[in-house]
Amino acid sequence: MIRTTFDQLTALLATILQKEGLDHLRAITCATIFAENTRDGVASHGVNRFVRFINQMRNGVIDIQAKPVLTGGFEAFEQWDGGHGIGPLNALAAVERAMELAKKHGMGAVALRNTTHWMRGATYGWHAASKGYPCICWTNTTANMPPWGTTTNVIGNNPIVLAIPAQPHPFVLDMAVSQFSYGKLETLRRNGEQLPYVGGFDKAGNLTTDPTEILATKRMLPVGMWKGSGLSIMLDLFASMLSGGSPTVSIPASEPNVSQLFIAFHAGLDTQERQARKEMVESAVRMMQDLCSEAGEHFPFPGEGTLRRRNQSDEDGIFVHPEVYQEILALKI
Amino acid sequence: MIRTTFDQLTALLATILQKEGLDHLRAITCATIFAENTRDGVASHGVNRFVRFINQMRNGVIDIQAKPVLTGGFEAFEQWDGGHGIGPLNALAAVERAMELAKKHGMGAVALRNTTHWMRGATYGWHAASKGYPCICWTNTTANMPPWGTTTNVIGNNPIVLAIPAQPHPFVLDMAVSQFSYGKLETLRRNGEQLPYVGGFDKAGNLTTDPTEILATKRMLPVGMWKGSGLSIMLDLFASMLSGGSPTVSIPASEPNVSQLFIAFHAGLDTQERQARKEMVESAVRMMQDLCSEAGEHFPFPGEGTLRRRNQSDEDGIFVHPEVYQEILALKI
């Protein structure tokens, strides 16, 4: 593996993005998101996807010049059109706008249409929560999962993020509504391994832990079976209806036109009360941790895996697969 | 089974509620919710729970005189204290207030603390969506589930509701974040049946479909395992933090002080555009239905079970278990 640092990686990616035509600030912001995702252990939406991201700029799926345009809304709620622009920059602008609206109106939401892949949803949750805003956001996706009881891929795995400010770190959940990701299935197949739990259906229509079978049928399992199936449908309808954008069933595989929703809360609390609420959250989590500890168990809080991998990267550096690194370097030429 | 009609059942329950001290309007409203839940096939949160509900009024868990009080907030966001009042009436008031805020500010939210069991969450989703408001709401609960990887019940099954207006009917998802309910486990145990899929852990710590084992260990399975575990934690922290109310870990089994969040959207759309958005949703669902139909399959939309049972009840009447009916009649005396 190639060992790099966060700053080196950001600088490398920013250089390439500037060469592709992004101005300095947008290049740095976008590079930072890809570097953060890699640092946090999500290389699949960091360095490992960077070449594909650049190729989507070059082949026109992503319009690098497009910026979100306000198309409607009223006070606390706004609709924006992403113009098929850069997904992570559009999403960052949208969550920041939702935070502004929340500060002004107690809460706020931005529905964003015609945007491209936001990479890692947690990015926007960490961003809002680290600035003191509880935040919920989600995206729809291309149709990559069958609704419960069918074999027809018409629903998406629509990742949803919930984030809450706290000290010393926010609590952030980032979950797709499929039980496993295609990335996970592919990794296990390459390694000749099975899933730890059933994650989809085989050709005979039975639930299986075999990634090869699931990749063949493309019948991924929604979280909680019929429940995640319904959740996927509702998240999709909410994001597309509120943004006036495309629902999953109308989104091509390259995902040039996904629909997203960003909700932020401010709640009109003064500084003192905001502090009290944060402490209330911290105390609730501590109580759950203590009760688990008494049983000799570990309370798994949302975001702990991210924090662990982030700290590891800060100590040891960020590791990039040599082939991926070479492909990224080649983009500089 | 005792066969009754919606109107007869509502009148019966309202009479009892008036006898308990509710004024006419509150009695009718509350009785209607219990009758609707029964009509929609959710007797567990309708007639089957009515005696317990009355007993909770009599033993002081529910304060029948309490009405929600505004405790804070700002423009689109408000906090209310339910004063341990009647859960369904508090929740109905909260969702109506969220709709008012949404009409005024594009979107709105009400965080409600110190309220009692809202019975069936879908009630409030159907209410908002049938009046044209997309709505998301959820409640926390007492600790009835262990977080993933533990055996310690410190998280709740926190039902969440997502509802979207459409014609000829809204789409409404009402899901607890446990894979199955305790009610379902108890019914299957009584009938000597197994769950259709694993729903919790046995004494040896293995996933099982045996309801008796799960009722003994009280280790219910969150939807999507680690994912539903994280979702439960975040829904709880959101509702308690935003309302300033109790988190799951501080809620007694009688649930006198749950925390809830109601979010409604209006989006500042004029009548014509609201109609266009509804049609967009209907068209997206039709496309998914058509694609499934082509494969000879049925697209399962959120709320279809409810609609089927509702229509059945409208045709055949509402059936109440004779023992339950006698117990309810006895409350009149």
User: pLDDT digit string (tens) for B195-238?
Assistant: 999 999 999 999 999 999 999 999 999 999 999 999 999 999 99
Chain A residues closer than 8 Å to B148 by CB: 300
Across B92-143, the runs of DSSP E, i.e. the strands, are 107-115, 135-139
How far, in Å, CA of A46 to CA of A34, rounded?
4
Provide the residue-wise pLDDT of chain A in tens; the chain has 333 residues. Answer: 999 999 999 999 999 999 999 999 999 999 999 999 999 999 999 999 999 999 999 999 999 999 999 999 999 999 999 999 999 999 999 999 999 999 999 999 999 999 999 999 999 999 999 999 999 999 999 999 999 999 999 999 999 999 999 999 999 999 999 999 998 999 999 999 999 999 999 999 999 999 999 999 999 999 999 999 999 999 999 999 999 999 999 999 999 999 999 999 997 788 888 889 999 999 999 999 999 999 999 999 999 999 999 999 999 999 999 999 999 999 998
> Which residues of A are marked as active site?
45
How far, in Å, CA of A249 to CA of A142, rounded?
7
Contacts of B239 by beta carbon, 8 Å cutoff, 6+ apart: B111, B138, B139, B140, B158, B245, B258, B259, B260, B261
Cα Rg of chain B (Å, integer): 20
Q: Is B137 helix (H, G, I), strand (E, B) or coil?
A: strand
Whether residue B268 is predicted with pLDDT greater than 90 in this model: the reply is no
Strand order of the β-sheet with A160-164 is A69-74, A77-81, A107-115, A258-265, A135-139, A160-164, A171-175
Exposure on the CB side of residue B59, measured as CA atoms within 13 A: 8
CB contact under 8 A, B231 and A162: yes
Phi-psi region of A73 (alpha: psi -120 to 50; beta: other; left: phi over 0): left
Type of residue found at B288: M
For B:98-117, CB contacts with A below 8 A are 104-109, 111
For A:184-213, CB contacts with B below 8 A are 197
CB contact under 8 A, B291 and A154: yes
Q: Is B115 helix (H, G, I), strand (E, B) or coil?
A: strand
- Nearest-Cα distance to chain A for B162, in Å, is 7
How far, in Å, CA of B144 to CA of B229, rounded?
12
Report the chain A residue with the minimal C-alpha distance to residue B173. Answer: A230
For A:123-152, CB contacts with B below 8 A are 134, 136, 147-152
CB contact at 8 A, B209 and B195: yes
Peptide linkage before B247 cis (omega within 30 of 0)? no
Angle at A119 between CA B266 and CA B289, to 5 degrees: 55
How far, in Å, CA of A332 to CA of A320, rounded?
17
Chain B residues closer than 8 Å to A281 by CB: 237, 240-241, 247
CB contact under 8 A, A77 and B277: no
> Domains along chain B?
2-59+308-331 (1.10.1530.10), 69-174+224-265 (3.30.1370.60), 179-221 (3.30.60.50)
The rounded percent of chain B whose pLDDT value lies above 90 is 96
CB contact under 8 A, B242 and A267: yes
Structure tokens at A65: 């010049």
Whether residue B271 is predicted with pLDDT greater than 90 in this model: the reply is no
The pLDDT of residue A106 is 96
The pLDDT of residue B45 is 96
Parallel, antiparallel, or unpaired: how do β-strands A160-164 and A135-139 relate? antiparallel
For A:313-332, CB contacts with B below 8 A are none
CB contact at 8 A, A193 and A118: no
Whether residue B267 is predicted with pLDDT greater than 80 in this model: the reply is no
Chain A residues closer than 8 Å to B208 by CB: none
- Nearest-Cα distance to chain A for B255, in Å, is 17
Tell me the ipTM for this assembly. Answer: 0.98
Exposure on the CB side of residue B267, measured as CA atoms within 13 A: 30
For chain B, how far is it from start to end, CA to CA, in angstroms?
22
How far, in Å, CA of B111 to CA of B77, rounded?
8
Exposure on the CB side of residue B62, measured as CA atoms within 13 A: 23
φ, ψ of residue B236 in degrees (nearest 5) = -65, -50
Element spanning A293, H or E:
helix A271-294
Contacts of A328 by beta carbon, 8 Å cutoff, 6+ apart: A12, A13, A16, A47, A50, A51, A320
Parallel, antiparallel, or unpaired: how do β-strands A318-320 and B160-164 relate? unpaired
Q: What is the pLDDT of residues B143-196, one digit of tens each?
A: 999 999 999 999 999 999 999 999 999 999 999 999 999 989 999 999 999 999
Facing residue for B265 by CB, picked from A77, A225, A235: A77
Report the chain A residue with the minimal C-alpha distance to residue B273. Answer: A244
CB contact under 8 A, A241 and B107: no
DSSP A155: B
CB contact under 8 A, B223 and A226: no
φ, ψ of residue A110 in degrees (nearest 5) = -120, 125
When the pLDDT of each residue in chain B is averaged and rounded to a whole number, the result is 97
Phi-psi region of B224 (alpha: psi -120 to 50; beta: other; left: phi over 0): left
Q: What is the pLDDT of residues B73-115, one digit of tens each?
A: 999 999 999 999 999 999 999 999 999 999 999 999 999 999 9
Chain B residues closer than 8 Å to A284 by CB: 236-237, 240, 247-250
Nearest to A111 by CA among A250, A236, A267: A236
